[in-house]
Structure 1
Amino acid sequence: MPVDRSKQVTLRRSCQACIKGKRRCDQGWPQCSRCLGKNINCEYVNTPLTIQTTQTPSSGRYLGPNRSIVNATPAPQIHAPLQLEIAKEYDRNIIQFLVAGLRDLPVNFAETRKTLFIHPDLYPNGLPTPVREVHNICRHNMQTGQTGRVSVTLLSMLRQYSADLCRRLSHAATFEELLACSQALVLIQCMLVLNEDGNASPYSEAISDMLVGIAGKLWQQAPIQLPRTLSPRCAWLLAESVRRTIIVCFMIRSAYSLNTRNYTVRTPFIDSLPFDLRTNLWDENSETAWQDALSDSEGSMVSLNEWSNGLAAGRVHDVSCFSGLILAACKGQAVSSIPSPPVNSYIDS
């Protein structure tokens, strides 16, 4: 009995026009680029999985004063692979803004015990030893009145304490201890790396590698489940602290590299980091206020790459200080340069 070839199962993914023309098909949907360019009908035997889910504003929902997002239409989805990206020649004003913003973190911590990545409410029983020690150092640094460069004595102390923290971090017995040592180390680098002379030094290069190691350890050792004794707000603060600490590690590396060589490298690991759209929750000062500001958690997480793209495209309302630094580090743009979002703006996921 002859085989009906029209009913054979095929694994070919190219569209019919590209198969007939013996051309390479990029499997775009609903049309590949070749059919789109030639304005011809594009048909697939096997419909390709979409690279990006189609979304419409009608299905969107507003998630608060800082941002809004469209619910993704349920569909199979394959994200395009993230590439190693070398960003070059940022505007000098952007670099100075990024460096100044990171230099301010130890000052903010000295004054309020809070930064963009350390929240005091995460430690209701008092700051852990590494964080408490670095708080004293931040206060000492602020009281010296130095701007731009630390004293030789303080610089030596910072280097010594940084080495000590590295040893303690490598022997951390719990994740909480690992996070505390990591956050203390990050604050030390804000005072150390970004206050040294502009010339690159082997010591600063070693710090850059160390920051990569911190980010990797935090990501790999973060607990899958949190203790039930934590309130919803404390559980969120812990997870958000981990995410933000990793992001600030990347920012310091970028700021140092941009400040000394005017280029920085973004890796797929950084771009794919989860980011919580509900940035306003970080600054809610009580459990009640936090619960009142809490929106539906569904769809609240995107990648750092998606968030920075949304910022650059002007789809984010009321850009926070943290988001402003992300925009500078990831896109080399200032908040003042991005378009103003409409009343109902959307971040495409």
Structure 2
Amino acid sequence: MPPDRNRTSNSQGRQKSCSECAKAKRRCDLRQPSCLRCTRQDLTCLYPPAPATTGTPSSHSASMTLESVADDDNLFSFDAPSYPNGHDVELLDFDFCGGLGSIYSFDDQLNGDVGGSLSLSRLNYLPGKLFSASHITPYAQSRVEYSIEQLKAAPAMMVFKNQTPWCHPNLYEDYMPRSLQDAHAACALYSSRNNANATFVARHITDHLKELLDSPVPTNSTELLARAQALVLYQIMLVFSGDIRYYGQVNALIRQLEDIGTRLQTVVMEETDPSDPLPLYPTIDARAAWKSFIFREAARRSLLILFHFLAMCNLMRGHLSSCSSHLATGNRVTLSAHLWSAASAFDFAVAWNEKKHHLVKELNFADVLETARADDIDIFGRMIMTGLMGIDDVKGWFHTRGGTY
């Protein structure tokens, strides 16, 4: 039984639930100073005072560690930790509510200048208080849930298909840097976790992540891209593992992701977009163009997904601050499932010459919405479009184009 709350001190001869559990008619485990349910849901846990004492009721601590996880009552069907509500990281730009046609409109949503149905946090959330996934509105949920499901599937996809929606299967055909080799191995272990090996797997993943974070940041563009992709994979495993042993490194990795994103942005800005047709024979030019496209678009997609994921992490941590709009400046990404999924240089050249490929600049999807076909948009495109528009609007757009989401 919890200390200082035995049966003899209770005038009714039985234990009393805390006020929150009693109000919800839920069983209370009577832990002190806060029961497990209140800890998980960031509730203020107050017990009725015993008659023989004059002290004030115990209350939930004003701080929370990353070991606290979301309760089953949360809006989301996925397992997500409840992050502490710190103020050391701003909500980044490549996120889920930038607003079609104007990335800057997200500031209004964050600062409460739009209707309640379009805000990101529920009315029961007070700024500065503990924040968890239960405070996220259906409006925000409709923009992040699809991406989260794809992120959760990424480690297994990397193992079994040697790719993710932002990492092309042929990107490291000649050479895979050590950082991504280790992350690949970590993904394999992560995908094979069970009750018997969970401790070993957690130790392996967190130890290798620490080694990566302690190593110097490379200057070579391929090594830099591999490091960014590795860090994203590690963060996915840390955040969505549902295992308390992983949560300790989440905050540290958020800062590393921001730093590597800024460095990767420099690489992305240096890439150019050719427009000339490609000869089908001989294939030497097509092969060179295909290889260049793979690196260019993998870097661009990785940068977008990195900041997209950071924005989701920050949302779950309660960081509802203004966007860093400069991150969108000069950003480009080509949305073409035909180019990304080409199986050979010949297939790539045919798709390049015959299919429309949509060059999205600074997250302006106007041309995509007006001229693209449903089969032009792959998983990555769906993730970004859903983040900007919400799942219902994206489903509607696919339906009008004769496709399905």
What range is the shorter-chain TM-score in? Answer: 0.5 to 0.7
Paired residue for 1:162, among 209, 214, 226?
209
1:209 & 1:310 partners in 2: Cα distance? 34
Q: After TM superposition, give the deviation of residue 152 of structure 1 in Å.
A: 4.3
Q: Deviations over 1:135-180 (max 9, x none)?
A: 121111111258xxx944433333332232233352x142211111
Could you tell me which residue of structure 2 aligns to residue 244 of structure 1?
301
**Mapped partners of 1:342, 1:107: distance in 2:** 32
Residue equivalent to 2:181: 132
Aligned AA (1:241): A
Offset, 1:88: 1.2
Aligned 8 A contact 2:104 2:325 in 1 = yes
The code of the aligned residue for 1:317 comes to: R
Given the two structures, how large is their TM-score scaled by the length of structure 2?
0.54
- Kindly report which structure 2 residues correspond to 1:21-170, keeping only aligned pairs within 5 A, or say none: 82=104, 85=107, 86=110, 88-89=120-121, 90-91=137-138, 92=141, 94-144=143-193, 151-170=198-217
* 1:127 CA displacement: 2.5
Partner of 1:210: 256
Residue matched to 1:289: 347
Gaps of 5+ in 1: 1-78, 345-349
Superposed CA offset, 1:84-110 (max 9, x none): 633614524654332221011111011
Q: Classify 1:84/1:164 alpha carbon distance in 2 versus 1 (closer, same or farther; 3 Å).
A: farther
Q: How many angstroms apart in 2 are the aligned matches of 1:127 and 1:191? A: 20
Computed over aligned residues only, the root mean square deviation of the Cα atoms, in angstroms, reads: 3.8
Shift in Å at residue 283 of structure 1?
0.8
TM-score (norm 1): 0.61
**Counterpart residue identity of residue 240, structure 1:** E
Distance 1:164 1:310 in 2: 44
CA distance change for structure 1 residues 104 and 238 in 2, over 3 Å: closer, same or farther? same
What is the DSSP-based 3-state SS (H/G/I as helix, E as strand, rest coil) of the residue aligned with 1:121? coil
- Match in the other structure for 1:183: 229
Q: Which stretch of structure 1 is more off in the superposition, 262-271 or 315-324?
A: 262-271
Q: SS of the residue aligned with 2:176?
A: coil
Residue 302 of structure 1 aligns to a residue whose secondary structure is strand
Conservation of the 8 A alpha-carbon contact between 1:94 and 1:328:
yes
Report the equivalent of 1:322: 380
Instruction: Give the Cα–Cα distance (whole angstroms) in 1 for the partners of residues 322 and 161 of structure 2.
Output: 32
Q: How many Å separate the matches in 2 of 1:102 and 1:335?
A: 21
Q: Percent identity?
A: 17
1:195 to 230, 241, 252: 241
Which residue number corresponds to residue 359 of structure 2? 301
Question: CA 1:334 to 1:108, structure 2 compared with 1: closer, same or farther past 3 Å?
Answer: farther
How many angstroms apart in 2 are the aligned matches of 1:302 and 1:168? Answer: 34
CA, structure 1 residues 335+314, in 2 after alignment: closer, same or farther (shift >3 Å)?
farther
**Shift of the alpha carbon at 1:82?**
4.1
What one-letter code is carried by the residue in structure 1 that aligns with 2:215?
Answer: R
Distance 2:338 2:183 in 1: 26
Provide the aligned length of Structure 1 versus Structure 2: 258
- CA distance 1:242–1:125, shift in 2 (3 Å): same
State the 1:333 CA deviation. 2.8
For residue 304 of structure 1, report the CA deviation from its aligned partner: 4.6
Does the CA contact (< 8 Å) of 2:235 and 2:250 recur in 1? no
Distance in 2 between the 1:295 and 1:270 partners? Answer: 31
User: Partners in 2 of 1:323 and 1:179 — Cα distance?
Assistant: 20
Per-residue CA deviations over 1:46-99 (Å, capped at 9, x if unaligned) read xxxxxxxxxxxxxxxxxxxxxxxxxxxxxxxxx989466336145246543322
- CA deviation after TM superposition for structure 1 residue 120, in Å: 2.9
Q: Structure 1 266/325 Cα, relative in aligned 2: closer, same or farther at 3 Å?
A: farther
Q: CA deviation at 1:321?
A: 1.3
AA paired with 2:335? L
User: Matches of 1:158 and 1:279 in 2, distance apart?
Assistant: 32
1:326 to partner: Cα distance: 1.0
